Amino acid sequence: MRTCVYPGSFDPVTNGHMDVIRRAARQYDRVIAAVLQNAQKAPFFSTEARMEHLRACCKDMPSVEVMSFEGLTVKFAQLTGACAIVRGLRAVMDFEYEFQLASLNRMLGPEIETVFFMTGTENMFISSSMVKEIALLGGEYRGMVPEAVFGQLEPAFAKKRRNP
Ligand code: PNS
């Protein structure tokens, strides 16, 4: 059984994340979407909410599990028996950070390969931070997030818009 871990903040999950999950599910027997419990960075959505959003989006994909983790991604990957860490790559803007992450992860756990999926052009400029910014400033972000979670995201953004 080939397992991969797809770690991220998923704050919130975007269409770009789902594209990566769907494509990873075609290559691996088991995909673990792993939500980082950000200790230093205060996320907009709680760990539980981010996991719930992902579960709602992945409910039709039986090989995808949603878990949370703290600490090193490599350690979590080793614990789950994963052979790979999956990440999405958008444009050149991601490259330096991802290259650093992948290289350090390989130093920490050489047996675990980092595998990149190129984002489709339609998701090239979508990021969780931009979704949050657009949503909180009252812009149209519906087409950037999975329809399955829009109804859960919008009330939280609307509340924050009312009480910034
Ligand atoms: O969605 P993000 O915020 O781009 O994901 C970043 C993530 C979770 C992949 C990265 O911050 C991470 O792996 N954090 C866990 C701690 C760790 O392993 N750091 C890297 C050491 S080289």
- Amino acid at residue number 156: A
pLDDT band at 67 (very low <50, low <70, confident <90, very high): very high
Q: How far is the CA of 115 from the centre of ligand 1 (A)?
A: 14
Round to the nearest angstrom and report the end-to-end CA distance of the chain.
47
Q: Kindly calculate the radius of gyration of the chain based on its CA atoms and give it in whole angstroms.
A: 16
Distance CA 89, CA 137 (A): 26
Give pLDDT tens digits for 3-41.
Answer: 999 999 999 999 999 999 999 999 999 999 999 997 777
Which two tokens mark 67?
């878990």
pTM, rounded to two decimals: 0.97
Using alpha carbons, select from 74, 56, 75 the residue that is nearest to residue 66.
Answer: 56
Give pLDDT tens digits for 97-131.
Answer: 999 999 999 999 999 999 999 988 899 999 999 99
pLDDT for residue 164? 80
Q: How far is the CA of 101 from the centre of ligand 1 (A)?
A: 7
